[in-house]
Amino acid sequence: MAQFKETTVQTKPIYDGKVISLQVDDVTLPNGKTSKREIVKHPGAVSVIPITENNKIIFVKQYRKPLEKTLVEIPAGKLEMGEKPEVTALRELEEETGYTTESLTYVTSFYTSPGFADEIMYIYKTNTLKKVEQPKPLDEDEFVELMELTLEEAEQLIVEQEIHDAKTIYAILYLKYKGLR
């Protein structure tokens, strides 16, 4: 497959923001022709499937400006520079749900949109939640509402398209396949 590699001729930075940056690369294609690749750079993200002792899953409901609508998702957040995904997972779990855990299980990871972005999403699971007395606060531009749902209730929200993002759709199929414990 080495012959399919695209070689960078030039990188043009377009935008450098607080979450993403955008660049356009001129590349040489395998057939010698040239093309442009629009590339979004993202620090990566981590999410957690938190399962309570009553076999409910904790979700966060939040407004997603790119979609102009509210989604119900598993807790998630961006990786800080140089941070291990497990550390991000625990921080986001605490900030968004008020829980922590001593036992985090790795579920999977995936690139969300390899055609135009380098974002990777790590997914963890825990079913040993511990309440934090004074949890770390949310980011100042973050507003979420917690929801505890059974797996069946969550599946119904997929039908209603309130649950509708990659990591959460994956998480629910994973729990159906593997069970909650």
Of these residues, 53, 68, 133, 140, which one is catalytic?
Answer: 140
- Near a second copy by CB under 8 A: residue from 87, 111, 150, 156: 111
Residues 116-145 that bind a second copy (CB under 8 A): 116-119, 121, 140-141, 143, 145
Closer residue to a second copy (CB): 84 or 139: 139
d(CA 79, CA 7) in angstroms, rounded, equals 28
Q: Is 32 left (phi over 0), alpha (psi -120 to 50) or beta?
A: left
Closer residue to a second copy (CB): 24 or 132: 24
Per-residue b or e along 25-62, where b marks 16 or more CB atoms closer than 10 Å to that residue's CB: bebeeeeeeeeeeebbbbbbbbbbbbbeeeebbbbbbb
Q: Which stretch binds a second copy (CB under 8 A): 17-25, 85-93, 124-132, 148-156?
A: 17-25
Tell me, yes or no, if 152 is annotated catalytic. no
Residues 148-177 that bind a second copy (CB under 8 A): 158, 164-166, 168-170, 173-174, 176-177
**Bridge partners, 48 (sequence order):** 124
Residue 137 token pair: 């606060």
Closer residue to a second copy (CB): 9 or 130: 9
- In three-state secondary structure terms, 94 is helix
- From residue 48 to residue 77, the character string flagging contacts with a second copy as x (rule: CB under 8 A) and all else as - is -------------xxxxxxx--xx-x----
Residue 171 token pair: 């998480």
- Near a second copy by CB under 8 A: residue from 43, 83, 91, 109: 109
- In three-state secondary structure terms, 71 is strand
**Bridge partners, 59 (sequence order):** 147
Q: Which residues are catalytic?
A: 140
